[in-house]
Amino acid sequence: MTNPIISVRDLSIRYRAKDQVVYAVEHVSFDLQAGQTLALVGESGSGKTTAALSILRLLPQEAEILSGQVIFGEYDLLTLSQKELRSHRGRAISMIFQDPVAGLNPVIPVGDQVAEMLTTHTGAGKKDARKQALAILRDVGLADPERIARAYPFQLSGGMCQRVMIGIATALDPTVIIADEPTSALDVTVQAQILSQLDLLRQQRGTAILLITHDFGVVAQMADTVAVMYAGRVVEVGETEAIIGQPLHPYTHALIETLPRVDASKEHLRQIPGHQPEMTAPAEHCPFIPRCIKAMNACREGPPPVLQPHDGRHPVACYNPVWQG
């Protein structure tokens, strides 16, 4: 396998509030390969968005990076100055946020917002930038781009706004796109269209995509590789087919068991009992213990082992992985 386009190594992050500390990410490592889609999967609060935001240092003020590296080419993005980092944002690495309407300026026509990305980073004149902006809006599947360019975000649907966000994110032909739950606010039909548009851009341009999601349906459609997160830790990493078909970590197995199935006879969907721990201190044992049906004494004696292949399969951090013959 070639060198990854982005390599996250031993990343730990905590949030400090007035009366509480939360260890949101603990010793997280993963690799994003060029031209591939890696999905960070987990329930809300698992740390996946925090880990992704740290790549471009877009974390809120109360966040503190305790350790780790984010290697992009010859750079560690966590050590760059703000000026140096701005040269990578948008141009080399761009981001699509969860709420497409909130991600756009409400008082500026969307065409001007796309054009501004071009004038700011490429030095293009206003006339040329406007022309390129129309082409970008057309490329992301928006019919009548001239009308769309004149519109304000509130005049467009959520799906249209998300396409505009994709246009802005891809305007400078970045090598990496970070997409944080890009379809969670959209209906199923529009969701499928947006995901297809992202995958088409990946195929045409060779863009690597870091996809943050809680939806294994989205993972099955989009991802080459999956990293499953629980309570701030990556607990399993592997190719999508292996993770969905033969999950090893009990948490991953439980997540997949909650998916609706057309051949299921039960009236109700399965749920994972309990909830994630608050993580107000570094983990002293496996944080999944209260919800795990395979917990052993070893699980209570310390955090699970570092990710490592199990029985020749993909890496998992668990003392007692799910057995499947």
Paired residues of 308 in beta bridges: 316
What's the pLDDT score for residue 71?
A: 96
> Got the DSSP string for 83-137?
HHHHTTBTTTEEEE-S-TTTTS-TTS-HHHHHHHHHHHHH---HHHHHHHHHHHH
Closest to 167 (Cα-Cα) out of 211, 135, 123, 191: 135
Tens digits of residue pLDDT in 128-187: 999 999 999 998 888 899 999 999 999 999 889 988 998 898 888 899 999 998 887 778
**Residue tagged 């730990």 (tokens):** 12
- Name which residue leads in pLDDT, 32 or 260: 32
Tens digits of residue pLDDT in 217-240: 889 989 999 999 999 999 999 999
Contact indicator for 234, 277 with CB cutoff of 8 Å? no
Distance CA 140, CA 133 (A): 11
Position 98 confidence tier, pLDDT thresholds 50, 70, 90: confident
Measure CA 57 to chain center: 14
Query: Hey, what domains does the chain have and what are their CATH numbers?
Result: 34-56+81-92+176-316 (3.40.50.300), 100-173 (no CATH)
Helices (H), the chain: 48-55, 82-86, 110-122, 126-139, 145-150, 158-170, 188-205, 216-222, 240-245, 250-257
Q: Which pTM value belongs to this model?
A: 0.91
What's the pLDDT score for residue 86?
A: 87
Phi, psi of 55 (to 5 degrees): -60, -40
126-139 vs 158-170: helix crossing angle, rounded to 10? 120
Tens digits of residue pLDDT in 8-55: 999 999 999 888 899 999 999 999 999 999 999 999 999 999 999 999
Distance CA 285, CA 177 (A): 34
pLDDT at residue 267 greater than cutoff 80: no
What's the pLDDT score for residue 134?
A: 95
What's the pLDDT score for residue 325?
A: 46
Contacts of 139-148 with C-beta under 8 Å, sequence gap 24+, read 139/167, 140/164, 140/166, 140/167, 140/170, 140/197, 141/193, 141/197, 142/167, 145/111, 148/110, 148/111
